[in-house]
């Protein structure tokens, strides 16, 4: 007959063995694999792509047209317009990256005619991005991030289109700081970021606010508008205005419809007003 002490010792040993045998390590969650894919015409979109890739340590690849758009701005626009009218989408060189390997794909492009460029359209037609998370980024003269994101959602209905980043070609010096804040605010990078307050309700523009709007859009020939109402919020280094304006006909397009547009204007301390984007 076993002694009570021996029985107790055997029980402890048995429980310890069961406990050790049933212990499971929690598997570590793998970081999503990211690809920065872009088309660039003047080098601006390439600069944004390299900034994103460098900060994230993500793979990067350029979309290259088989027949490059090698003319000046007007020649490029004319060719793009002709291709659109004829229903032609230019071929691109094969993508070297294996798209299936990536969870998140940053897709960058300049805005032409309110949306992403034809080489990006060709990429989307040639690749199935179902189940992927897509982050659009773009460069533009006045705007196009929102409209191009809608077109991305239509082209890739089974992908998740995440919030994107856009910057005017005239404001590329602000891009590195804005990209850093964008990546942190959307959870791609760790660190502190600026969380802006919501815009309050709009009110009728004052003479001073109208002057700020006029100064911001002055000299940009593609934008002829008159401010109607505005909402104002504070920035860490200045003030941001969200104007609702009437888009008036231009001299080169007298039949342009007089629709409403939204124009974002920033006034930093001791600097002139600049508009950051237009939503049509």
Reported as a pLDDT band with limits 50, 70 and 90, residue 24 is low
Structure confidence at residue 9 (pLDDT): 41
The tokens of 124 are what? Answer: 């989307």
How far CA 225 is from CA of 76, 143, 241, 269, in Å, comes to 26, 15, 15, 25
Which stretches within the chain are classed as H helix? Answer: 4-22, 44-56, 73-86, 118-126, 145-155, 175-185, 207-217
The tokens of 26 are what? Answer: 């929690």
Determine what percent of the chain is predicted with pLDDT higher than 70.
89
Structure confidence at residue 5 (pLDDT): 43
Structure confidence at residue 270 (pLDDT): 93
Mean pLDDT throughout 193-204? Answer: 96
pTM of this structure: 0.87
Reported as a pLDDT band with limits 50, 70 and 90, residue 168 is very high
In this predicted model, which residue has the larger pLDDT, 215 or 4?
215
Residue 5 CA to residue 106 CA, distance in Å, equals: 67
Beta strand pairing status for 34-38 and 104-112? parallel
* Tens digits of residue pLDDT in 89-101: 999 999 999 999 9
3-state secondary structure of 239: strand
Structure confidence at residue 77 (pLDDT): 87
In this predicted model, which residue has the larger pLDDT, 256 or 183?
183
In terms of Cβ atoms closer than 10 Å to its own Cβ (0-12, 13-18, 19+), residue 55 is: middle
Average pLDDT, the chain: 90
**Homologous superfamily of the 34-185 domain (CATH):** Flavodoxin domain (3.40.50.360)
The tokens of 179 are what? Answer: 């990209």
Rounded to 5 degrees, φ, ψ at 117 are -75, 160
Residue 3 has pLDDT above 90, yes or no: no
State CA 84 to chain mean position distance.
24
Give me the residue spans of the domains in the chain. Answer: 34-185, 203-279
Structure confidence at residue 10 (pLDDT): 42
Answer yes or no: are the C-beta atoms of 181 and 51 closer than 8 Å.
no
* Tens digits of residue pLDDT in 59-117: 999 999 999 998 788 899 899 999 989 999 999 999 999 999 999 999 999 999 999 99
Residue 215 CA to residue 274 CA, distance in Å, equals: 8
In this predicted model, which residue has the larger pLDDT, 202 or 24?
202
Kindly state the DSSP code that residue 8 receives in the 8-state scheme: H
State CA 64 to chain mean position distance.
20
* Tens digits of residue pLDDT in 40-51: 999 999 999 999
Residue 4 has pLDDT above 60, yes or no: no
């Amino acid at each position: 007959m076993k002694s009570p002490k021996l029985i107790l010792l055997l029980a402890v040993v048995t429980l310890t063995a069961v406990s050790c045998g049933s212990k499971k390590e929690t598997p570590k969650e793998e970081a999503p694999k990211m690809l920065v894919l872009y088309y660039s015409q003047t080098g601006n979109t390439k600069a944004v792509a390299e900034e994103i890739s460098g900060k994230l340590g993500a793979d990067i690849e350029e979309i290259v047209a088989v027949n490059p758009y090698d003319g000046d701005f007007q020649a490029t626009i004319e060719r793009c317009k002709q291709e659109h009218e004829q229903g032609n989408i230019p071929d691109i060189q094969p993508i070297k990256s294996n798209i299936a390997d990536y969870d998140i794909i940053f897709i960058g492009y300049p805005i032409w005619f309110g949306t992403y460029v034809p080489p990006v359209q060709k990429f989307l037609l040639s690749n199935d991005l179902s189940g992927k998370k897509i982050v659009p980024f773009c460069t533009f003269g006045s705007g196009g991030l929102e409209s191009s994101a809608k077109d991305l959602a239509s082209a890739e209905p089974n992908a998740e289109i995440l919030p994107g980043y856009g910057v005017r070609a005239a404001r590329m010096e602000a891009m590195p700081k804005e990209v850093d804040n964008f990546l942190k605010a959307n959870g791609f990078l760790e660190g502190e970021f600026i969380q802006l307050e919501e815009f309050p309700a709009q009110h009728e523009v004052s003479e001073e606010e109208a002057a700020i709007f006029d100064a911001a859009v002055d000299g940009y020939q593609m934008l002829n508008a008159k401010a109607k109402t505005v909402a104002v919020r504070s920035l860490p280094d200045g003030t941001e205005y969200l104007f609702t304006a009437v888009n008036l006909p231009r001299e080169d397009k007298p039949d342009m419809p007089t629709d409403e547009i939204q124009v974002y204007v920033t006034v930093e301390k001791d600097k002139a007003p600049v508009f950051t984007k237009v939503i049509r």
